[in-house]
C-alpha cells in the first residue's frame, strides 16, 4: 500500500510539473516569440483595440454603450419587453440627438459581450457631421478617415465590415492635432 501511495504522489508531481508548469511556460514563450502583438493585448497609449473604450462625443467617435467598466463583461440581457431597456434606449437616443448624432441601433444598444470595440461603418458615418463640427474639420476629411479604417469581411465573405473605434479615434486625434 505504501508503494502505491508513493507512485501516486510521484505521478501527481510529474503531471503537475509537466502540465501545470512546463507546458504553460512553453506556450507563453511561443506566444511571446511568434505572436507578440496578440500576446501583449495590442496595448497602445489609449488602450487596447480588443476592448471597447468609453468615448464621449461629439468630439470623438463613440462605440456601443457597453458601459465604462471593461471588467464587467456580459450584456444586461434585457428582454424585448423590458422597461429598463426601453428607458435606457430612450436616454441614449436623446443624448445622441443632443450631440447632433443620428442614432443607429448599434449606438443605442449594447453588445452581447459588453466590451465590443467595433462599430459598423454606418454608425461611424452617422457621427461624421457631429465629429467634423466639433473638431473644426471638413466633412470630406472625416469621411476619408472613416473609409480608411473600415475592415472588410474575413476572407471576403464572413462577417460584416467594421471599424475599431479606438484606432479610428487615434487617427482622428492625429488629424485634429495636425490641423
Kindly report the pTM of this predicted structure: 0.69
**What residue ranges do the domains of the chain occupy?**
2-39, 83-178
pLDDT of amino acid 15:
95
* Bridging pattern class, strands 118-119 and 163-164: antiparallel
Residue 46 cell numbers, joined: 489609449
**Angle, in degrees to the nearest 10, between helices 139-148 and 165-178:** 140
DSSP designation for 17: I
Per-residue pLDDT of the chain (179 residues; tens, 9 = 90+): 888 899 999 999 999 999 999 999 999 898 888 888 777 666 666 666 666 676 676 788 888 876 555 555 555 667 778 888 888 889 888 988 888 888 888 888 777 666 778 889 999 999 999 999 989 899 999 999 999 999 998 888 898 999 988 889 989 988 877 65
Q: How high is the pLDDT of residue 117?
A: 80
Non-local (6+) Cβ contacts of 104 within 8 A are 120, 122, 123, 126
pLDDT score recorded for residue 60: 87
Backbone angles phi, psi at 119, to 5 degrees: -130, 160
- Hey, what's the cell of 52? 471597447
CA distance 9 to 12: 5
Amino acid at each position: 500500500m505504501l508503494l502505491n501511495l508513493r507512485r501516486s504522489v510521484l505521478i501527481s508531481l510529474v503531471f503537475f510539473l509537466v502540465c501545470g508548469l512546463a507546458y504553460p511556460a512553453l506556450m507563453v514563450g511561443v506566444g511571446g516569440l511568434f505572436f507578440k502583438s496578440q500576446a501583449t493585448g495590442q496595448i497602445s497609449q489609449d488602450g487596447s483595440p480588443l476592448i471597447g473604450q468609453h468615448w464621449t462625443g461629439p468630439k470623438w467617435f463613440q462605440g456601443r454603450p457597453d458601459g465604462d467598466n471593461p471588467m464587467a463583461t456580459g450584456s444586461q440581457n434585457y428582454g424585448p419587453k423590458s422597461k429598463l431597456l426601453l428607458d435606457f434606449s430612450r436616454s441614449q437616443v436623446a443624448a445622441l440627438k443632443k450631440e447632433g448624432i443620428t442614432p443607429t441601433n448599434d449606438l443605442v444598444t449594447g453588445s452581447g459581450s459588453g466590451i465590443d470595440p467595433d462599430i459598423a461603418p454606418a454608425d461611424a458615418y452617422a457621427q461624421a457631421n457631429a465629429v467634423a463640427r466639433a473638431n473644426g474639420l471638413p466633412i470630406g476629411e472625416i469621411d476619408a478617415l472613416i473609409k480608411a479604417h473600415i475592415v472588410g469581411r474575413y476572407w471576403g465573405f464572413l462577417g460584416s465590415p467594421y471599424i475599431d473605434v479606438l484606432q479610428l479615434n487615434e487617427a482622428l486625434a492625429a488629424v485634429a492635432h495636425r490641423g
